[in-house]
Amino acid sequence: RAAEWQLDQPAWSGRLRITAKGSTAFIKLEDKSSGELFAQAPVEQFPGIAVEGVTDSSRYFVIRIEDGNGRRAFIGVGFVDRGDAFDFNVALQDHFKWVKQQSELARQAQDLEQGPKLDLGFKEGQTIKLNIANMKKKEGGTVSTRPRPAGPGGLSLLPPPPGGKSGSGERPAPLSTPAQLPGTPITDSLLSWPQPTAAPAADVWGDFAKASG
């Protein structure tokens, strides 16, 4: 319980930093002016015995410090601001969450190495067939196009209408006015224009011309 500590007269005050080396986190108590190390507590597991919260406050903790020669001691530390105590907790949680993720990735990689390996390479003489856009290509095939029949004078004639019968001998009705093909002169046999009527033999204005004045 933090209430049992002499909170108004702390034995030491300074700054606290959390560093990490590998999977171990280190809580370092340093002098706030010179940065000299006062004590440090290696943490290999959180939550664990190296860091424990008190029962009557969220700003105070008990940490286990070590001097590197095998000597250990438990001391109580606390933060004036509640936000700093929250950051202290979050920093330790994030570190050990990362440690857990790394161990899981290493275990998965080891399982893949020990498992059977799939050989996805082509064997000698092995071939595959690709069907692209449902188009089949025939080896040695040629594409033939059907030319349209050409009429006289180089004109291309259109195919008969769908309702017509080919090869039946039927011909379309002739046009009232025959069409002229290129290079063909127009003759009387092709076009029969109406001839002008002859003028009347008698002059209908003769009597008028003979009138006086």
Measured over the CA atoms of residue 14, residue 15, residue 21 and residue 26, the dihedral's sign is positive
Tokens (6 digits) for 152: 């006289």
Any idea where the domains of the chain sit in the sequence? 2-114
Phi, psi of 35 (to 5 degrees): 80, 10
CA dist 10 and 78 (Å) reads 10
Q: Options 3.10.50.40, 2.30.29.30, 3.30.300.20, 3.80.30.20; which CATH number does 2-114 get? A: 2.30.29.30
Q: Do you know the residue count of the chain?
A: 213
pLDDT, averaged across the chain: 76
Cβ neighbours around 95 below 10 Å, total: 18
* 185 pLDDT higher than 60: no
What pLDDT is recorded for position 144? Answer: 53
CB 74 within 8 A of CB 5: no
Report which of residues 184 and 111 the model is more confident about.
Answer: 111
User: Residue 74: helix, strand or coil by DSSP?
Assistant: strand
Report which of residues 157 and 59 the model is more confident about.
Answer: 59
CB 91 within 8 A of CB 18: yes
Q: Kindly report the pTM of this predicted structure.
A: 0.50
**Model confidence pLDDT, tens digit, residues 40-86:** 999 998 888 999 999 999 999 999 999 888 899 999 999 989 999 99
CA dist 12 and 31 (Å) reads 9
**Model confidence pLDDT, tens digit, residues 12-24:** 999 999 999 999 9
